Amino acid sequence: MSNETQKVVISLEDLLAQADALKKYIDYLQKTLAELQDNIISIDSSLQALKEIQNSQELLMIGDKRGNIIFKLQGIEKAKVLVHLGLDYYAEVDPSVAERILNDKKAELSNALNELQRELAKSLEAYNEITELLNQIQQQLQQQSAQSKGG
């Protein structure tokens, strides 16, 4: 048995194409990561609202994201809430059941977030390796060009 290493030959175009594909994939992963984080923050807000509604006689409800209108609600039925189940389905349940559903959803999203972060880290590492290799190739080409002009 010999300890010789095998050389793999990859064209510069293939290397550039791989770097470009990885860059697009990294952008997609980062966008998806931001969406997951936003969903988790929304669930946290819903869980906080559930706690607040149980402890208050009056509730302020914001009509939109920018707060252009705020509703002052009194006499809210606290025995049941509507919770989103997914795919535009909602269920009317006790607040404690809603809390469990939201916590389960948050756990699922957190697991997906962790997986996505691992995938992003691997992709970034591969992208950095390719860009380092491309930088080395560029430096070698510049040195060869300088030597051929000078020599």
C-alpha to C-alpha distance for 47 and 81, rounded to whole angstroms = 12
pLDDT digits (tens, 9 = 90+) for 108-133: 999 999 999 999 999 999 999 999 99
What's the chain's average pLDDT? 87
Whether residue 36 contacts residue 109, with contact meaning beta carbons closer than 8 Å, is answered with yes
Residue 6, number of CB atoms within 10 A of its CB: 4
Q: Which residues contact 76 (CB under 8 A, 6 or more apart)?
A: 53, 59
| Strands 89-93 and 81-86, sheet pairing | antiparallel
C-alpha to C-alpha distance for 12 and 87, rounded to whole angstroms = 45
Higher confidence at residue 20 or residue 55?
20
> Given a cut of 90, is residue 35 above it in pLDDT?
yes
pLDDT digits (tens, 9 = 90+) for 44-97: 999 998 888 887 777 777 787 777 888 887 777 777 888 998 898 999 999 899
The widest CA-to-CA distance across the chain, in whole angstroms, is: 90
pLDDT of residue 86: 86
Is pTM beyond 0.85? Reply is no
Whether residue 51 contacts residue 117, with contact meaning beta carbons closer than 8 Å, is answered with no
